Every structure is written in C-alpha cells, then in structure tokens.
Amino acid sequence: MGTPPVPSSPSSPSSPSLPEPVTEAGRDGLAALLARPERALVALDFDGTLAPIVDDPTRAFAHPDALPALARLAPRVGVLAIITGRPAEVAVRLGGFAGHPELAGLTVLGAYGAERWDAATGSLHRPPPHPGVAAARTELAALVERSGPGVLLEDKGNALAVHTRTAPDPAGVFAALREPLAELAARLELALEPGRFVLEVRPPGTDKGAALTALARETDASAVLYGGDDLGDLAAFDAVAQLRESGVPGLRVCSGSTEVAELAAVTDVTVDGPAGVAGLLSALAAALG
C-alpha cells in the first residue's frame, strides 16, 4: 500500500493572490517563471521559511500549509528543491517530505549543499565527516556547559550548532559566543555560520548560493525562485542576482521576521513567515492552473 496523497491545506481553502514583487528584476523573474513553469526551479529554505521557528530544534515541523502547497506546486514546475543547513534526512523527516507521490521529483540539499536526498530514488549522498568536527564537539560541549542555562548544543553529525534562543539573554549570549566560536572554527579549519540565535561550526567549501547555482545549471533552469529567512540564505539570494546577470531571470522571496529584518532589503518580495510562504506557493500553483 503506497503513502496517501498529501491532504489539502487545513487553514487556507482558497489561494491568496500572488504578491507583486517590489523590484523590476523580481517582476521579470516571476513573469519568466509563469511563462515557462516546466523549466523553472523553485528552491526553498526549511527553518523559518517552510517551518515556523520554535525553541526546540528537534521539533521544528513544517507549517501545516507548507506540504499541501508544495504538493500542489510540484507537478506544475520543472524542479522543486529544499536547500537547508539541516542534514538532508532531518529536513525530510521534519518536513514530512518522503513517500508522497506528488513530491516524487523533490530534491533536498542538506548541510548547505553538501548533502543530497532525491525523493525519486530515496538515495542520500553524504560526504565523509570533516576531522575538525570531532575536535569541535569536545570543546563545544565544555563551552556550552560554561555558558549558562538555555544554551543548547545541536549535534548535526558533520556540524555543530550552538543555540542561544532559550537563554535568559539570547542576543547577549550570542554576541559573547561569537568570537570564541570564530576562533575555534578557524583553528579547526571549519566555517562559522551565524543564524537566528544560532552559531554553527561546519565544514567549509559550500554554501546555499553554490548549491542553488549548481542545481540551476544541472537542470538547465530558465527561471529561478529562491525563498529564505536567515543570514545563511544571503548566499542564495546573491546567486539569484548572478544568475540574472547570466540571463536566467529570478525571484527572491523573503520569509519575513523581526529577527532578520535586513533581509527584506535584498529580496524582491516579502511575505509573513512560513504561513506567507505557503500562501505564495499555493498562489503560484493556482496561477499555473
């Protein structure tokens, strides 16, 4: 017996209208996507974009409207992808992406593009562990212990994330940890990746921009949409700008939040967090018939 199709959205029976991008390049990107959807690449970040931000990273499930919107959009565009800082298999589990016939073509690029899961085959590609991560694990456990209550260490296998969201002073602890973590990352030949009340040390060598560009080239995309909410998404927004310069129109969607308010200035359209993203994806699917 196969997995049943994704149910329709619980909270938005009718699709909202497509928002108008505030930039000309964004309007061109949207027009190109609507004109040739079969050649379009739609790529989305996970946390803060498809999944609401919550205190416990292990319980950051997709917004209830996200999966129905993705399922509706997937058959209408060339390629649908998730590009996330999570390990690919964690994003697949939290998103509930596996086993749905509508999402048979979905690709999940995890660990900022270092990992790849394809729904079509269920195959997971993961690089070998970086030697610096094991050393960082021991040091970070001690550092987190000293940092006071509410500071969490998320062990992602080949990366480690220190979360300060549930500390009594999240911004203050984040600021205090930034320099020691930058020093540790440099010493162990790792990269420091700051995000929403999180400082991550991870293997260098890739980012979401490189991942998005490679996927656009691999799939010969004629238009690209990228949606994100955090600092790690800036590389992907830059990649959209570079793809535009090389003749591939693109649309940059900001999943808006008060935590990373500066992102709206470098994107073409801002929606209200994961609910707004799901609404936009649903509206896109409706516009594509």
Ligand X SMILES: O=P(O)(O)OC[C@H]1O[C@H](O[C@H]2O[C@H](CO)[C@@H](O)[C@H](O)[C@H]2O)[C@H](O)[C@@H](O)[C@@H]1O
Non-local CB neighbours of 272 within 8 Å, separated by 6+ positions: 256
- When asked if residue 256 is in the footprint of ligand X (CB under 6 A), the reply is no
Site track 26-45 with ligand X (rule: CB under 6 A), x = hit = -------------------x
Which residues is 226 bridged to in the sheet?
43, 252
Instruction: Report residue 36 CA to chain centroid gap.
Output: 24
Alpha-carbon separation of residue 116 from 99, 123, 212 (angstroms): 16, 8, 12
Distance separating alpha carbons of residues 48 and 54, to the nearest angstrom: 9
Q: 41 or 44: whose CB is closer to ligand X?
A: 44
Q: Which of 154, 214, 219, 238 binds ligand X (CB under 6 A)?
A: 154
Residues 96-115 that bind ligand X (CB under 6 A): none
Diameter of the chain by CA atoms? 56
- Using CB under 6 A as the binding criterion, the count of chain residues that bind ligand X stands at 24
Q: 95 or 249: whose CB is closer to ligand X?
A: 95
Instruction: Report residue 32 CA to chain centroid gap.
Output: 23
Catalytic-residue membership of 118? no
Task: Output the smallest distance, CB 161 to ligand X, in A.
Answer: 4
- When asked if residue 257 is in the footprint of ligand X (CB under 6 A), the reply is no
Q: Which of 130, 163, 244, 252 binds ligand X (CB under 6 A)?
A: 163
- When asked if residue 48 is in the footprint of ligand X (CB under 6 A), the reply is yes
Task: Output the smallest distance, CB 222 to ligand X, in A.
Answer: 26
Alpha-carbon separation of residue 285 from 23, 27, 145, 243 (angstroms): 22, 17, 47, 23
Alpha-carbon separation of residue 206 from 51, 182, 236, 282 (angstroms): 23, 18, 11, 30
Task: Output the smallest distance, CB 58 to ligand X, in A.
Answer: 8
Positions touching ligand X (CB under 6 A) are 45-48, 53-55, 57, 60, 84-86, 154, 156, 161, 163, 165, 195-198, 200, 230, 232
